[in-house]
Each structure stands twice: as C-alpha cells, then as structure tokens.
Amino acid sequence: MQAFNPYLPSWEYTPDGEPHIFDGRLYVYGSHDRFRGHVFCLNDYVCWSAPVDDLSDWRYEGVIYKKTDDPDNPFGRACLYAPDVTRGPDGRFYLYYVLDKENTVAVAVCDQPAGKYEFYGHVHDKEDNLLGHRPGDEPQFDPGVLTENGKTWLYTGFCSPFDPSRHGPMCTLLGEDMLTIEQEPVFIMPSKPYSAGSGYEGHEFFEASSIRKFGDLYYFVYSSIVMHELCYATSRFPDRDFTYRGVIVSNNDIGISSYKPAAKPAYYGGNNHGGLVKVGEKAYIFYHRQTDGTMFSRQGMAQEVTIGPDGSIPQVEMTSCGLNGRPLEGRGTYPAYIACNLFTDEDLPYSGGAGKGFWMDGRFPRITQDGKDGDEEQGYIMNLSLLGRSGSRLHPGRVHQCLDQLYHRS
C-alpha cells in the first residue's frame, strides 16, 4: 500500500502529533480537534499506531484518555491541549498534558502505550507545591518529555511575542516518580522580548515544545512566533546551550522556492506543532495542517527529513507523499483531499478563526467533508474555480497538485 498526507483517514483531526516507537510500532499522540469545532482540542485523546515496517498501515487504538478523566474537569468543560508520552524507568507509560485554562502539568499513566490511561497526579516540588502555581513560576503549556538514564526532562512554555513576563521555554528535571521536581525550571532559549543577539531573531519560541535525542545531540523542536513553521535548536546538554539551527517545515511552505517564490504561501497555514522520529535509517517530522477554512480542524501530516553529519536538517517541502518513502505511482486515481497546495492570487498565509469572515465566505478553496464530526466521510476540496470573479481583484483558488508534484517529488 501507499502512504499519503494526511497519513490518517481524512475524517480524523489529530494535530500536535508526537511520534514515538514502542515495541516495534510507531505511536502518534496528539490533541484531538473536532470537525467544524469553534475552538481547539474539543475531543478526547485518541491514539493511532503503525508497524515500523509499513507506515501506510495505521490502526486506530481508540480513546486513551477522556476529558472527564481529569479530576479537575468532571463535566468536560475544559479542553485537553497537546500532550506527550514517555516510558518511565518502571516500564510504564506516562502521558503529560495541560488542561485548558490551567497552568499546571497533569500526568496520566498506563501499562501499555495505547491502553486506558488513568490520572496519576500533577508535577510538583518536594513540598508538594504545584509547578505553575508557585510564586515566580511562569505558566505551563504544551509539555514535551524525554526519559533517559532514569531521569525525565520536562519542557514547557508559551510565549507571546508581546509579553515580557514570559522569558522562554523551560526545562525541568523530574525524579523517578515522574512527578517530583529534582531540578528547578531553567530557560533554554529566549522569548522575543529578550532575543536580541541570540541568533533566534525572527524565529523566537512561541509554543509546542518537543524534545528528542539522536546520537549525542538533543533536538528541541518548537513553533516559532510566525506560527506556521516548526524550528529546531540543538545542544549536547538537555538543559542549556541550545543553538538555533533553522526551520524544518512550514505548513504553508513559506521558505520553499523549488516550485514558487519562497515567500508565497502555498496553503492556508496556521499554528504548528509536531516532533521528530527515527524509523530505522530514516527520520521524519510530524506536523499538522489546517482544514475547512478555520484554525480549529487540523490534520496530522508527516515528511521525511535528512539529518546531516553536523546535525543540520534542511527545510522540507509539504507533499502529498508524506510517509510513502517514494513518489506516488503514476497510475490510477487519488483522493482530492491529499492536495497539499491550494493557491489563490491573494497571498494570505493564515486560515481564518472561529469559522467567520474571509476564509469561510466561499471565495477560497478549502479541504472539508460532509456530515458531522466522527462521520467517516471522505474529504474533498470545495470552492474550486478557474475564473476570476467580475468586479473583484480576488481570484478564487486553483488546486496546484500537478503530476510533477504527485509523481516526481517525494
């Protein structure tokens, strides 16, 4: 079978994907948007997995954690934001997340990678004070976790470019119980108000902390202040000396000049979140795209990346091939929803919000589906036109999914 982008069914909306290999399978953990949702992350956490030798064969693992499983959310009114999972020193699996409108990091635990997770506790210091609630703590958000040699490193943070009270992403060392702080949070890179002379200028940290270690380098992947790009920084230490290295992927392909001007958006982008994974000799970046003309119905995407001998990762192009490992076969038919470029003559890089106004008024193409959230209806592209609208300088979009892209680019 062949793999496409998005790599999950077109009716599934699982952004913020964090890929991890456990016992011969690749598991992806993310938040869970709702089709036609009015805000981010309205649904419960689900998990999908695939065998490492066939990344086209994805299996639905079901709901692994409900909003109401958190004791602070018995009525499910708060959303589960982007999580991450790590295997602890005891062999169990720990899911770290931040609940909507909370500033603390919650943890759930399970004996299996994709079983039923149960609430375990909150990250706290040795006096049982919750991280995020203590005087001087900055709010916690988007946890990324890495466990090695019995230690778990927790990365968190959210930094508006206009908020000098946020200083950058934080790294906190946890003890073997996966909850207790062993080393207080330290900032590993600056936020925008403090970035002058740092090397991060123009790509300062916004959100979406993700951490991996390949060889002797730690890779910190994050969403920058421009939102649509995932950037990375590297260090030989988990908690200091991170150096900005570049952009890995943009969900509107800004920065890619192989088929368009580099500054031209090729898709209606928005926020971004994802992580790196190595599968055998290959490496991939997982990220997400926006659909339905809003920010709030996002789908998981993935691209193969090249890691150079010096640890560098050149920016990769969004494609319809994704995890396929080769160009799509030049025969048969393909579903329209795998189109990765939707151009218009009005170069706006971001999707709309709250389902209102410019992006939902019928002038722009968008990937959508029939039915309601959860209906297994194949996605398609709507609002296609090859003709301009009389009296308007705006031309409705055309699909840019040419044979060259489908069959000759990987």
Residues annotated catalytic, as ranges = 16, 207
DSSP letter (8 states) at residue 149? T
Length reported for the chain = 410
Q: In which region does residue 86 sit, left (phi positive, over 0), alpha (psi from -120 to 50) or beta (all else)? A: beta
CA-wise closest residue to 6 among 303, 391, 284, 252: 303
CA distance 371 to 1: 27
Contact predicate 193/201, CB 8 Å: no
Give yes or no for a cis peptide into 190 (omega within 30° of 0): no
User: Angle CA(176)–CA(180)–CA(182) in degrees, nearest 5?
Assistant: 80
Contact predicate 36/373, CB 8 Å: yes
CA distance 259 to 234: 29
CA distance 365 to 268: 10
Q: In which region does residue 383 sit, left (phi positive, over 0), alpha (psi from -120 to 50) or beta (all else)? A: left
Which single residue is written with the structure tokens 């991450």?
A: 84
User: Angle CA(82)–CA(199)–CA(183) in degrees, nearest 5?
Assistant: 50
Residue 365, token pair as written in the block: 């193409």
Contact predicate 157/151, CB 8 Å: no
Contact predicate 28/16, CB 8 Å: no
Q: What is the dihedral of CA 127, 128, 131, 135, to 10 degrees?
A: -50
**DSSP symbols for 38-91:** SSS--SPEEEEEEETT-TT--EEEEEEE-GGGSTT-TT--S-B---EEEE-TTS
